[in-house]
Amino acid sequence: MLALPTGPLADASLALVQKSESTPIADHSIRSFLFARLLAEQEGCLNDAAYDENLLFAACVMHDLGLGALAAGQARFEVEGADLAASVLTEHGIAAADVDRVWEAIALHSSLGIADRRGLLTYLTHKGVFTDAGRFTDLGVSVLQPIYATYPRPADPRFMQDAIVEHAARSPAAAPPYSIAAWYLHQRQTGG
């Protein structure tokens, strides 16, 4: 259950995340993949022609690259992360159509009501991310516990909000109106 994919793309994706993101965000990304894979199994998607574990790993693990040290802060964190991930996939010879699928999964991972309608990869990435955030409870506690034991959540749950606000404060383009970044930044600035 805790085994991660291996190979040139998986290894490069994980190394980049661990090098450029904080440990809490990198662990969140790994948990997101593990939850997404468990959800795929629970929902009977593992044999679906659209299911590709290597692409799912890439999308989940790199979904928050826009909150890491490599992001310029000149666009939404979701888009910057998608662009960075697309570069990694392209460097590893992944077909353009699959690069686009991963880009979309990352760019839409925080888009409630949209991500779950944009194909299996985007759906599973979104569900894995928000399972870790506590929004979805499709997986039982007994399934979650070994993952949290190996990749623990920080005691302060604001680690993600703090990273989003830090990125959003870099430029107006990083927090466009009605984005999650703009909302968190506004909340922080107004003390709400």
pLDDT of residue 176 exceeding 80, the answer is yes
* Alpha-carbon gap, residue 159 to 93, rounded angstroms: 34
Do 69 and 89 form a contact (C-beta atoms < 8 A)? no
Q: What is the pLDDT of residue 112?
A: 86
- Amino acid letter, 118: R
Do 125 and 114 form a contact (C-beta atoms < 8 A)? no
Q: What is the pLDDT of residue 78?
A: 97
Q: What is the pLDDT of residue 179?
A: 92
Question: What does the pLDDT look like over 38-76, one tens digit per residue?
Answer: 999 999 999 999 999 999 999 999 999 999 999 999 999
Q: What is the pLDDT of residue 38?
A: 95
Per-residue DSSP letter, 4: P
Question: What does the pLDDT look like over 108-155, one tens digit per residue?
Answer: 999 889 988 999 999 999 999 999 988 877 888 888 899 999 999 998
- Coil, strand or helix: which one is 164? helix
* Alpha-carbon gap, residue 66 to 70, rounded angstroms: 7
